[in-house]
């Protein structure tokens, strides 16, 4: 019985010695990998966030929207001389990837308007939304501009609209109707030729 207690005491003592000697090594060994794992986790999380941002539309794009069309291109396409241009902010948010500009003649009558969507805007969703509804006619042939394009039917105060995608950026160009009456079929057809010239000036 005395021998058993002695062996148990020795075993316990040996265990305490081993624990005391190995405790610091164990703690040191686990502490460093723990820190590395934490750093790796932060890095992986940041990388995943960047990847998600890229998939959702990428980094925000700044666009000098009134520089997309020159006065020379507008005059050649429409036969009207633009006297001024104005960046639109009403209902448009550059922080959300939306930009707009309009051009007016010397009588301050707006006759060309362009709207642009770029990241972080959901460009594809905007494109599909515009390619639907009452003002889209699938029977009208595509103008063949950029990566994908279509015309929208003329609404009130409009002669016509063209929408096109180019390098991941969505553009919509509108021609205003100076008359109070709806555009005739001939006016709309002529407006589409003008819109193509304007769109080619942007691209």
User: What are the structural domain ranges in the chain?
Assistant: 1-56, 65-202
Give the model's pLDDT for residue 91.
Answer: 79
- Cβ-based neighbours of 198, under 8 Å, separated by 6 or more: 69, 73, 74, 77, 78, 112, 162, 173
Give the model's pLDDT for residue 58.
Answer: 60
CA nearest to 63, candidates 104, 97, 18: 97
Separation of alpha carbons 177 and 110, rounded Å: 9
Separation of alpha carbons 112 and 78, rounded Å: 9
What is the CATH number that goes with domain 65-202? 3.40.1000
pLDDT digits (tens, 9 = 90+) for 11-24: 433 333 333 444 44
- Cβ-based neighbours of 155, under 8 Å, separated by 6 or more: 135, 161
Which residues of the chain fall below pLDDT 50?
Answer: 1-56
pLDDT digits (tens, 9 = 90+) for 178-192: 887 889 999 999 999
């Amino acid at each position: 019985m005395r021998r058993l207690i002695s062996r148990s005491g020795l075993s316990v003592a040996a265990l305490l010695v081993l624990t005391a000697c190995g405790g610091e090594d164990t703690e040191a060994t686990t502490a460093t990998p723990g820190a590395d794992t934490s750093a790796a986790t932060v890095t992986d999380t940041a990388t995943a966030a960047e990847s998600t941002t890229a998939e959702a539309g990428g980094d925000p794009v700044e666009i000098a929207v009134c520089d997309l069309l020159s006065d020379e291109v507008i005059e050649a396409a429409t036969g009207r001389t633009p006297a001024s241009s104005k960046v639109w902010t009403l209902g448009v948010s550059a922080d959300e990837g939306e930009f707009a500009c309009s051009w007016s003649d010397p009588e301050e009558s707006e006759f060309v308007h362009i709207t642009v969507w770029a990241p972080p805007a959901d460009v594809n969703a905007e494109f599909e939304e515009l390619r639907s509804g009452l003002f889209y006619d699938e029977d009208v042939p595509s103008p063949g501009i950029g990566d994908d394009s279509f015309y929208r039917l003329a609404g009130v105060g409009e002669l016509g609209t063209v929408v096109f995608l180019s390098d991941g950026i969505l553009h919509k160009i509108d021609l205003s109707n100076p008359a109070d009456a709806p555009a005739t079929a001939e006016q709309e057809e002529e407006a589409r030729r003008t819109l193509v010239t304007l769109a080619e000036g942007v691209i």
